Structure 1
Amino acid sequence: MRLLRELAVAVMLLVIVGVLARSGAGRFVLPVVALAVAAALVALLSKRPAYPRTAVGPRTRIIESAAESADVACVECGSPATTRRRYVREWVVLGVPVVLLDDGENPVCDAHRD
């Protein structure tokens, strides 16, 4: 459902750009929009990438941190969890996450950490 919504937004933006290109106002608006898009692209590419700069397509990251509370149980065996493992599946372009596809959290104990 999220993909259909994003596709609809992309089509609407293309229609707006098409209308602007045919009108007299587009002569002023489109260069400003192009500069804003270029500045946003430069800002994104100047940040430290989450993935290698050549990465394109769906990618998964796993982020580990210590479990905050002791009452959280391991998803494998049910014993108290010591580590919180967060996974993030994203669509990536040039190493920059563009769309979040899936995410979640799995608390695990030391025995099931590997």
Structure 2
Amino acid sequence: MRLLRELAVAVVLLVIVGVLARSGVGRFVLPVVGLAVAAALVVLLSKQPAYARTTVGPRTRIIESAVESADAVCVECGSPATTRRRYVSEWVVLGVPVVLLDDGENPVCDDHCD
């Protein structure tokens, strides 16, 4: 559903660019839009990449941290949890996550950390 919405937005943007290219206003608007896209690309490339710079497309990573609360229980066996695993599914462009697709947390005990 989200992909269809993003595809519809891309098609609408292309139609707007096409209309602007055929009009006199496009001579002023399209260079400004081009500069904005170039600036966004510079900002994107200046960020510290979470993945290799050649990575493009959906990716998932797992971030582990210690459990802060004592009442957290392991999702596998129900014993007290010692580690919190956060999974993040993202859409990545040039190694930098640009869209969060899904995320969540799973507390686990030492026996299930493998």
TM range (shorter): over 0.9
Map 1:1-114 onto structure 2 (within 5 A). 1-114=1-114
Q: Could you tell me how far 1:55 is from its partner in structure 2? A: 1.1
Unaligned segments of structure 2, at least 5 residues: none
State TM-score, norm by structure 1. Answer: 0.93
State TM-score, norm by structure 2. Answer: 0.93
Q: Could you tell me how far 1:72 is from its partner in structure 2? A: 1.4
SS of residue paired to 1:51: coil
Task: Supply the distance in 2 between the matched residues of 1:57 and 1:7 (Cα, whole angstroms).
Answer: 15
Number of equivalences: 114
- Out of 31-40 and 53-62, give the one that drifted further: 53-62
SS of residue paired to 2:73: coil
Q: Could you tell me how far 1:113 is from its partner in structure 2? A: 1.1
Task: Supply the distance in 1 between the matched residues of 2:98 and 2:10 (Cα, whole angstroms).
Answer: 14
Task: Supply the distance in 1 between the matched residues of 2:11 and 2:27 (Cα, whole angstroms).
Answer: 21
Q: Could you tell me how far 1:82 is from its partner in structure 2? A: 1.3
The aligned amino acid for 2:88 is V
